[in-house]
A = this chain, B = another copy of it.
Amino acid sequence: MDDRPIGVFDSGIGGLTVLKEIMEQLPGEDIVYFGDTARIPYGTRSKETVIKYFFQSVRFLLTKEIKAIVVACNTASALAMEEAQKVFDIPILGVIEPGAKAAVSATKNSVIGVIGTEGTINSQSYQRKIRKMSPSAEIIGIPCPLFVPIVEEGWENTDVAFITAKKYLLELKEHNIDSLVLGCTHYPALRYTINKVLGDKVTMVNPAYETAKAGKIMLKEKKLLSNRLDGGKCDYYVSDDPEKFKRIGGNILRREIASVQKVNIENL
């Protein structure tokens, strides 16, 4: 039994969808959340830069005496996980493996779609993980760079979202996928629009949910679970304006974020 907090980090605010799932599935755990809001988004950055930002985030969380790290950002998980696991001793869980596993379980015709940022899709991380678990699967990855700004604009159920989704998802429809990984923390907000485009036969996989589930299993196996059953608290840190994070983040979490501290992440 271990009452130290879990560290969770993301390129910004989207990772709160993962945090929310962790809070629901592990209500007794304390958490330290870091959102790199001064350098969001990671999705279009080079691997080298994402590795640097990932390592800085880990180094910050390590100052908070955490017992494990959950990487809530798909791009960071896709581009920097292997390097980080070589360098840091602490258990680190990303969203890719749990998301890939759920897609393989969900598919019946072995035709799986993956959508995410440019960085996530081009890294082939989801594709490689899925292929490892299901070598004969046909996997179609499509980067959807407009989805994040559409969600951030609050336009997820508008005609702009629908036409954009039709453009991006056409190829997935033509390939007759039956399961789809929503490989970016913002995308579950678009699930109704995506469903309108792809129809009810496509099962959508939300890696946020799967990652919280996998996190619980990992902590249990490593005997790192807290012995508290609820009452866990969360401390929030960001690299840009705390006020904006409080406002938007509170909406995502559906609970008030009382206090957020700013971190100078660049010097870590």
A→B interface (CB under 8 Å): 37-40, 44-46, 48-49, 145-146, 148-150, 152-153, 155, 158-160, 163-164, 167, 239-241, 244, 266-267
Give 19 new A-B contacts, CB below 8 A, not counting A40-B44, A49-B240, A146-B146: A37-B45, A39-B39, A44-B152, A45-B240, A45-B241, A46-B240, A48-B241, A49-B239, A145-B149, A145-B153, A146-B149, A146-B150, A146-B153, A146-B160, A148-B149, A149-B149, A158-B167, A159-B163, A266-B266
A241 to chain B: which residues have CB within 8 Å?
Answer: 45-46, 48-49
Q: Least Cβ distance of A52 to chain B in Å? A: 8
A158 to chain B, nearest CB (A): 8
- Neighbouring B residues of A158 by C-beta, 8 Å: 167
Query: When A and B form their complex, which 6 residue pairs have the shortest distance between CB atoms, in order from nearest?
Result: A46-B241, A266-B266, A149-B149, A49-B240, A38-B49, A46-B240
Q: How far does the alpha carbon of A149 sit from the alpha carbon of B267 in the complex, in Å? A: 30
A78 to chain B, nearest CB (A): 16
Question: Which residues of the other chain, B, contact A40 by a CB distance below 8 angstroms?
Answer: 44
Chain B's closest residue to A12 (CB) is B44
A45 to B39, CA, bound (A): 9
The smallest beta-carbon distance between A161 and chain B, in angstroms, is 10
**15 examples of A-B residue contacts, CB within 8 angstroms:** A38-B49, A44-B152, A46-B240, A46-B241, A48-B240, A49-B239, A49-B241, A145-B152, A146-B146, A146-B155, A159-B163, A160-B160, A160-B167, A266-B266, A266-B267
Select from chain B the residue with minimum beta-carbon distance to A143.
Answer: B153
Task: Provide the bound-state CA to CA distance between A3 and B159, in Å.
Answer: 53
- When C-beta atoms are compared, the residue in chain B nearest to A164 turns out to be B160
Complex contacts, A240 vs chain B, CB 8 Å: 45-46, 48-49
Residues of B within 8 A of A37 (CB): 45
How far apart are the CA atoms of A255 and B154 in the complex, in Å?
A: 38
